[in-house]
Structure 1
Amino acid sequence: METGTSMIVMKFGGTSVGSAERLTSVLEIVKATKEKDGAPIVVLSAMSGVTDMLINAANAAKERDLDAALDILDKIHEKHKDCIYTLFQQASVVDELVEQLENHLNKLDIILRGVSYLGELTKRSLDAISCFGELLSSLIFAALLEKEGVESSWVDARTFLVTDNVFGKASPLWETTTAKAQGTILPELADERVVVTQGFIGSTASGITTTLGRGGSDYSAAILGVACEADEIQIWTDVDGMMTADPRIVPEAQVLQTVSFKAASELAYFGAKVLHPLTIKPAVEKNIPVRILNTLRPESKGTVIEEASDEQPLYAIASKKNISALFFNSLNMLMSHGFLAKVFSVFDKYRTPIDLIATSEVSVSVTIDNKDNIESILESLHELCDVRVQHDVAIVTVVGTHFRAQSGIAGQVFAALKDINIVMISGGASDITLSFVVANQDADKAVKQLHNALFATASAK
């Protein structure tokens, strides 16, 4: 790269690449960035709706409804083919892209037939199926850049993003990924070629396709940003940035211009869907700013997440629905040590993160949102204590700064929620969150009332 340029990682989500028109908008944004900062790394999600279609096809195949699975495959084919015919006029380019599309979908056809024959869908197989959306969207976009005279290189993320073998929620092997990413990507950037790659997907050391979990394209961008020592990671989406609340719940919510890494991590974890929670951690470790921007309004400044952000007394309110709350009671806890370690070891065994925790002398309450192994977890916990489960609850979290040093915040919060039944309360060891568990149906009401009470007279900075 030329002296004075910046290395930018640009991730575009499913809605940003969801149609030929949207891809054309992304093209203009990437061209402007290349002109200003040098060739960027572009990380693409699947076109909106395609990952869900792939999962639906996989599930249909598992049920041995191969016709339904192949019908979905045909719809995916038509969606991408229509996009190709809209964007490209040169027959040779169209023919080449359609051939690539059909080669990929032929591979997908074979996998779906195998799943249908066995009547079994493993996480490994689901990863092998789920990866195709990103592969197809990125192939089309790389060709669009070339059509517009922007030199680019399409790079399969599976050649550099090396992960463990936890299919469905893989984690990067950092040393290997860093070496491979730098060896593959930096030479392309040095030649001023835009690198186009995929979010969400990687591979094991032996080359088996893995995924980073739903929303993992943000994480892919952060991994690449750290591995290639980027100056900035940009997450392009369909909103102006992080907001004081979800605007679908609170229409008067305001954009936050700056947010600290710590506050952004909490907001992402507790339901601010604009950003995948794992995006923040790698960026924090290398102090790389993360900027959230709007593909539909590229002139908007968005939200910058960085360590040097001015701390605010209150940032935002987030919510996460469809959680399960678990309540444990045992007299064995009284004046004993080691009991909590035994409880937590059960969650560790089944790789199930705990969102919130509250304890007393003889009881513990926790929340989880990964219910994949909940029956096994409950069976193990019943050997230690009495367990009660409440499904269909939501976490509502207020994120701010130094709550314990601010008098009156707790009073305002509880007053705002006076007509809502609170199942559980957690203060958060970080001193920047206050979280409450309420019934799913009360979550939006709680967010609205909290926002009205806490932000009615304040403007987001």
Structure 2
Amino acid sequence: MLVMKFGGASVKHADAVRNVADIISHHQDKAQLVVISAMDKTTNHLELLAHLARDGKETEALEQFERVKRFHRKQISDLFPADQVEAVEARVTPFFTFIERIVNGILLLEEFPPRTYDRIVSCGELLSTTIVSSYLSFKGLDCEWIDAREVVKTDATWKQAGVIWTLTEENVKKQVKPKMKGGRVLVTQGFIGSTTEGHTTTLGREGSDYTGSIFAHCLEADSLTVWKDVPGILNGDPRIRQDTVKLDKLSYEEAVEMTFYGASVIHPKTIKPIFNRQIPLHVKCFLDVELEGSTIGSETNSEAITSYIVKKDQVFYQIKPKDFSFMEERLMQEIFDYIYKSGVKVNLVQNSAISLMICVDNRKSNNHEFVSLLLDKFEVQVQEDLKLYTMINFSVKNLKEAADAVMVQQHGNKLFVVK
């Protein structure tokens, strides 16, 4: 039993969809559940569409809507013979009708609340999976489309919904497992779920990896494979460093640390569900399926390789009591209460006798609320537009990275530098 996830780049045009179909066909001897993201940058295009409508730019919004429709209809016309196109278009038309209705509502009310965000952006995955599953069936595979919203149940935290695991596992057991058999391909959407009342939710941007992990966990799958346009997990971002190498094996712990501190190859929430079942996660390249890729599991062979992770758009706060008190436990608890209340995302903490220093993500509204809470009792110094550099398995030569830093920490084999 296999779970595979394909991102937007792997289905960005007709040739890419054909390649995905070839990959799936190579595993026809096993039952497969395939999670697919929105095609190319459709989620971004739907966000833009909604923002244009919210701002009252009706003409631009309608033009953007037509672009989204044309893009998907082109994929259909490129994938299917003429006598099949009309039938496939009929399957996607309800989603376009739904998008249009949402856009008209946004134009009328001139607002775009988080709940509406989840409703409109979810259509990207619904469109892509409808097209891909139709193509797999056209190519002769035993394929069935599954609506992830009927299976993955969540709370009502719009844009960042939390999974209700008991209900989701029960739904997988009743609705999905009975359909899993050798040669059968089940196609479902990444990124989306629904509340117990049936309202559409999303799991956070780039959350399709997480969806794959949810299904792998609930199905007790043999493995989860995430198909990317890179040869595997690299020890750094090749857009930043020229000397990157592939990490053949990583432990679950190493993978969690890398994703938490900013490595983007895997969504941070992906690891825990598969770790709990000890399911290996393979990261493979859809551009060259013969490459070995990388495996996240119980083993590692990366101890001697330094991994470099950069997290951009960081904010550094130095917090001091106004009365020059020591930074004792009572004051630190108060600050951390403010962190919790404001929803600040903390990446690094360091304290001295009279100050507490933290490095956080630049969530403007949350950070503003945090500082407002502090100002009665504390002086706050702020530095913005910083980067958090994390080096795992660092060596002495990496210490030069700490030059001119505003914050440096070392924990075991990890070096953290904020500058």
Shift of 1:178: 0.8
- Structure 2 partner of 1:210: 201
2:383 equivalent to 1:383: no
Q: Does 1:437 align with 2:403?
A: no
Q: 1:393 aligns with which of 386, 400, 417?
A: 386
Assess if the C-alpha contact under 8 Å between 1:43 and 1:197 holds in 2: yes
Alignment partner of 1:348 out of 340, 353, 357: 340
> Kindly tell me: are residues 300 and 106 of structure 1, through their superposed partners in 2, closer, same or farther at Cα, counting changes over 3 Å?
same
Q: Which amino acid aligns with 2:255?
A: A
* Equivalent runs, 1:219-368 vs 2, <5 Å: 219-310=210-301, 312-330=303-321, 331=323, 334=326, 336-368=328-360
**What per-residue deviation string (whole Å, max 9, x for no partner) do you get for residues 364-399 of structure 1?**
111222334222121112234111222211111001
C-alpha displacement of 1:284: 1.6
Partner residue, 1:161:
152
Query: What displacement does 1:149 show?
Result: 0.7
Aligned AA (1:73): F
The amino acid across from 1:426 in the alignment is Q
In 2, the alpha carbon distance for the partners of 1:364 and 1:69 equals 47
Q: CA deviation at 1:332?
A: 6.2
Moved over 6 A (4+): none
What amino acid does structure 1 have at the position aligned with 2:346? I
The change in CA–CA distance for 1:9 and 1:360 in structure 2 (over 3 A counts) is same
Indicate the SS of the match to 1:389. Answer: strand
Separation in 1, partners of 2:39, 2:120:
15
1:414 maps to 2:414: no
Corresponding position of 1:424? 407
C-alpha distance 51-372 of structure 1, shift in aligned 2 (>3 A): farther
Q: Matched residues, percent identical?
A: 31
Indicate the residue corresponding to 1:456 in structure 2. Answer: none
CA distance in 2, matches of 1:18, 1:129: 19
Name 1:60's counterpart in structure 2: 52
TM-score with structure 1 setting the length: 0.87
Q: Distance in 2 between matches of 1:22 and 1:281?
A: 30
- Matched to 1:233, the amino acid is L
Matched residue SS, 2:26:
helix
Partner residue in 1 for 2:10: 16
Moved more, 12-21 or 270-279: 270-279
Task: Evaluate the alpha carbon distance shift between residue 336 and residue 269 of structure 1 in structure 2; reply closer, same or farther with a 3 A threshold.
Answer: closer
Could you report, residue by residue, the CA deviation over 1:30-71 in whole angstroms, capped at 9, with x for unpaired residues? 111223xx0211000111111110111111111111221221
Q: Match of 1:163, SS?
A: coil
Q: What are the residue-to-residue correspondences of 1:110-189 with 2, within 5 Å?
A: 110-189=101-180
The C-alpha deviation readout for 1:125-178, integer Å capped at 9, x for no partner, is 111111011111100110111011101110111001111111011110111111
Which runs of 5 or more structure 1 residues have no equivalent in the other structure? 1-6, 404-408, 439-461
For the pair 1:87 / 2:68, whether they are aligned, the reply is no
Give distance in 2, aligned partners of 1:394 and 1:34: 45
Q: CA deviation at 1:119?
A: 1.2
Secondary structure at 1:235 match in 2: strand
Matched to 2:177, the amino acid is: L
Going from structure 1 to structure 2, the CA distance change for 1:332 and 1:217 (only over 3 Å counts) comes to farther
Question: How many residues align structurally?
Answer: 417
Q: What residue is the counterpart of 1:39 in the other structure?
A: 31
Task: Give, in whole Å, the separation in 1 of the partners of 2:377 and 2:162.
Answer: 31
Secondary structure of 1:395 counterpart: strand
Secondary structure of residue in 1 paired with 2:291: coil
Task: Say which SS state the counterpart of residue 33 (structure 1) adopts.
Answer: coil
Moved more, 265-274 or 367-376: 367-376
**In the alignment, what sits opposite 1:27?**
21
Kindly state the Cα deviation for residue 182 of structure 1 after the two structures are TM-superposed.
Answer: 2.1
Structure 2 spans left out of the alignment, 5+ residues: none
2-structure distance, mates of 1:375, 1:108: 34
In structure 2, the CA distance between the partners of 1:181 and 1:90, relative to structure 1 (3 Å rule), is farther
Deviation, structure 1 residue 437: 1.0
Rounded to whole Å, the distance in 2 between the matches of 1:372 and 1:40 is 42
1:441 aligned residue: none
Cα root mean square deviation, aligned: 1.6
Of residues 318-327 and 194-203 in structure 1, the stretch that sits farther from structure 2 once superposed is 318-327
Please give the alpha-carbon distance, in whole angstroms, between the structure 2 residues aligned to 1:252 and 1:313. 15
The answer to whether 1:96 aligns with 2:87 is yes
Measure how far apart 1:102 and its partner are. Answer: 2.0
- Give, in angstroms, the shift of residue 191 of structure 1: 6.5
Between the aligned partners of 2:272 and 2:334, the Cα distance in structure 1 is: 28
1:204-225 alpha-carbon deviations (Å, 9 max, x no partner): 1111111111110011111111
Change in CA separation of 1:171 and 1:249 when aligned onto 2, cut-off 3 Å: same
Q: Could you say what secondary structure the match of 1:131 adopts? A: helix
CA distance in 2, matches of 1:333, 1:307: 46
Distance 1:360 1:335 in 2: 7
Do structure 1's residue 48 and structure 2's residue 40 form an aligned pair?
Answer: yes
Q: Deviations over 1:378-429 (max 9, x none)?
A: 11122341112222111110012xx7xxxxx3x32223554xx21212334x
C-alpha distance in 1 between matches for 2:325 and 2:145: 57
Residue 180 of structure 1 and its aligned partner are, at CA, apart by 0.6
